[in-house]
Each structure stands twice: as structure tokens, then as C-alpha cells.
Amino acid sequence: MSEQRKQNLAQLTRNAAFDAVVVGGGVNGIGVYRDLSLQGLRVLLIERNDFCSGCSAAPSRMIHGGLRYLENGEFDLVRESLFERDALLRNAPHMVRPLPTVIPIASWFSGTLNAAAQFLGRGGKPAARGAVPIKLGLALYDWVTRKRRVLPKHRFHSGAQTRRLWPALTDKSRRSAVYYDAWISHPERLCVELLRDVAEAAPGSVALNYAEIELNGNIFRLRDGLTGATFEISPKVVVNATGAWLDDTIAALVQGKTERLVSGTKGSHLIIDNARLYDALNGHMAYFENTDGRVCIVFPYQGKVLAGSTDIRVEKARRVRCEDDERDYILGALRLVFPKVAISADEVVFSYSGIRPLPHSDQDFTGRISRGHDIRRLPGAVPQFCMVGGKWTTFRAFAEQTADAVLSSLVRNRRVSTRDMAIGGGRQFPDDPSVLCRQLQAQHALPPNRAEQLIDRYGTRAAELA
């Protein structure tokens, strides 16, 4: 057993009283663990598997406003997401970077009526979007960020410009639009950095993976998944951040029946080793529709290409993997948008899947289910705050809102905001990372590509690693 784990378990034995116990160590649970710990609360984080091994390790890696949510009329979600995107670009510049995105456009007006119907609450499956609805969406995107512009505004390209910049794009694309969002290189690592930040700033809090919580009568017990040892713990509140497993956790920790809060949908991605496809993207993400109306994405990722995703309802949360039919669906979508590039299943070098913990909904077209978030308080001797829904992009805001609800219930005040707080190796990260690279090479006699790789992964903590 690691020294750190021994110390964590010793802390539990010495003092088992916590202001809050957060169950679930994905990005949302880790976010609220950080926020509450920084307010001076003693917090215990319990994760059943490894930290950030659920849905939070399986996103499309976009840190984005969510262009298509505008069609659903979710302006508040888009505004909040754009704000959080820009905050992550500032607070974690070593891992979150600008992502220029091209939208191939086949017609002028297609999809306009459908978007309007959806906006009025009557839409179903979306139709292919034409230039007009895309222009409206991108203008709104730019308008929301007008006062604190971090990324360039959108622009449209004619057919000739589109063919020059993306010669392998489908001929059906008569023009294109380019706008900017952001992407995250290593979501799991950013979660580990958040945990390290808490360990330094709030040593009284404890984060334990491979552990579970049980309720026996009125007694909460933590079971160490590695040794089987149990510890009685006494929290004032519980935060349920178990994502797609939220309802199972409620069933285990609440006496009596409650309504269902989460409906999961499974999404898979492929990493493809295909140099022609990589070149065809010309450094951009392509954001396009498949024939079923679902939005798909493909972008250059660590010298390869990342493409996704599927959106399939799952009745019961479980560990998931990308199935052959999902792989074929994603490859089929890529062939539609880049028909001149030969892409074969043998070039898929990696795949990953996760279950989106979406708010419970009966919507037939899963792409229409809101990606927003909500906090549900379940009363009891130990109240439970359930984190429902959410996106990777908005984890900080969701954590802050949940922490505020917990603070209010415990009659405690907020001491600090995480809004402008740099994360891990994002602290003092220079505008020009090549400065850091040269320093690292000189101090540790490293070849340039190794120094770059360390900075890419660990930011200003690279020297510690070197």
C-alpha cells in the first residue's frame, strides 16, 4: 500500500468527522471537493474505482460553448459554458488550448425551420443545418463573448476558399464557416492536478480511491476496496457526484423511494492513425452532421486523429466499451465528410467510451436531451446534494453552485472563488511555452522533444518531473 494511502487511512482513524462527504471522483465530484475544501471545510472524497475513470475520462475533449444547444434555446447554458471555456483557457493554459473549427455547409436555408420549431419546443430530430442557422448561431456565440474576447470571431469561407483550405472535404460542401472553441489534451491529468492542489491547500481533507460508502441504519461506513477494512464516518452532508450511477447511489444511501434523476447515454470515440486524414483537417476540428442528424466531430490529436461520437441510451450504468457497430458508425460519418480519404478499421489504434449522466428525459432523439446541470437536495438527518447532469466544460461552475448550496445548509460562508484560480501546472504558465522549454532543456540536459512533451503534460510542474 502506498505511503499516501496509509496516511489517508490513518487520518480517517484519527478523526472520522467530516463537514461533507463527496461520493464520486469524476470531474464534478473532484470540483466540489476542491471548492468545499478551499472554503475551510473538512471534506472526504470517495471514489469506487480510480479517480476520473468514468465519463470524465471519455469526453470528446472539447471545452466549448455548445453551438448546437442554441438550437434547443439553452442560452443560459451556452453563456455559462463560454464563460467557463474562457476561464479554463486562462487557468489551465498547459492543457486547454484554442481549437479552430470548420463547419462544412451544403446549403443556405436548410434546417432553419427545424431549428425554429425546436426553439419553440416542437422539434424532433434535426435536419442538416444550412448557412443561415449556422450564421445566426455563430453570431450569437460571438455576441456573448464580445466584452472579454479571448478567441477570434467566426468567419465564412466561399466555395473556392473552402476547397483550397480543405481539398479533401466533400464536394457537397459549397462553403464553410470557421469558429473557435477549445480542447483539453489530458482530462484525467487535470483531475489529478485538482486533487494535488487540494492536498497542498487543505491537508485536512482526504481523497480516497478504490473505496465505497455504505449506510447501515444511521451509520455511514467506508469500505477500503483494497484491504476490505471498514471505517465508521460521520458527515454533516453528503454530495452525490456519481454521474450515471447517481440513482444507484441514492438507492443505497437514502431510505425510501425517490424519482429517477439521471438517464445515461453511451458515447464512443476512436483514435485513428491515418496521415491523410490528419493532413485533410489542416489543423482544424471538423464539426458536421451524420445522416441521422447527430453532430459528429473529428480533430487532430497528439499526431493522430480523434473522431466521435455515438449517443445510445443505456438503461443501467455500467463499464462500457466501443462496440464494432459504433466504430462503423463513426467511420461511416468520416467517409461522408472526407470521401476522398481512404479510412479503414485497421487504422483505429484506440477507442474509448463513457456514459453521459444526462438529466432524466423521455426525449426520443438523445442529441436533444439537455446538457445542463441541476442540484437536487434530498432531505434527511444527513442531507444529500445530488449533482445531476453537467459537462466537463462547466465543472467549475457546477461545483461552485453545489458548494454554495452545501455552505448555505451548514451556515458557512464562502472564503474564496475558484473563478480565477490557476490549476496545477497552469500556475505561472508563460504566454510563450518555448521559454519554459529552453529552461528545462538547459537545466536537465533534455532533448527538445522530451522537454516539450513534459511541458505539454505537466505545465510548470515539468521541472519537478524532470
Ligand X SMILES: Cc1cc2nc3c(=O)[nH]c(=O)nc-3n(C[C@H](O)[C@H](O)[C@H](O)COP(=O)(O)OP(=O)(O)OC[C@H]3O[C@@H](n4cnc5c(N)ncnc54)[C@H](O)[C@@H]3O)c2cc1C
Residues that bind ligand X (CB under 6 A): 23-29, 46-49, 53-56, 58-62, 212-213, 241-245, 249, 267, 309, 354, 356-357, 390-393
C-alpha–C-alpha distance, residues 22 and 377, integer Å: 14
Task: Please confirm whether the linkage preceding 309 is cis (ω < 30° from 0).
Answer: yes
Nearer to ligand X, 255 or 443 (CB): 255
Q: Is the dihedral of CA 404, 410, 413, 418 positive or negative?
A: negative
**CB-nearer residue toward ligand X: 320 or 421:** 320
| Angstrom distances, CA of residue 2 to CA of 6, 7, 200, 204, 208 | 6, 9, 18, 19, 12
Tell me whether residue 28 or residue 274 sits nearer to ligand X (CB atom): 28
Cα dist from 220 to 213, 214, 289, 381, whole Å:
7, 6, 48, 12
Smallest distance from ligand X to CB 39, Å: 20
Q: Which is nearer to ligand X, 175 or 396 (CB)?
A: 396
Are 84 and 393 spatial neighbours (Cβ–Cβ below 8 Å)?
Answer: yes
SS3 90: helix
Shortest distance, position 449 Cβ to ligand X, whole Å: 28
Cβ 164 to ligand X shortest distance, Å: 29
Q: Which residues contact 351 (CB under 8 A, 6 or more apart)?
A: 268, 269, 270, 271, 321, 322, 327
- Rounded CA-CA distance 188/81 in Å is 20
- Tell the smallest beta-carbon distance from residue 448 to ligand X (Å): 31
Q: Pick the closer one to ligand X by CB: 188 or 279.
A: 188
The residue among 49 and 361 lying less far from ligand X, judged by its C-beta, is 49
Task: Say which residues have a Cβ less than 8 Å from residue 366's Cβ, sequence separation at least 6.
Answer: 265, 311, 312, 313, 358
CB of 465 to ligand X, least distance (A): 25
If phi > 0 it is left, if psi is from -120 to 50 it is alpha, else beta; for residue 293 that is left
Q: State in angstroms the smallest separation of the CB of 108 from ligand X.
A: 29
Q: Cβ of residue 253: shortest distance to ligand X, in angstroms?
A: 8
Q: What is the CA radius of gyration of the chain?
A: 23
Burial (CB < 10 A; 0-12, 13-18, 19+), residue 126, is: buried
Residue number, 67 or 277, with CB nearest to ligand X: 67
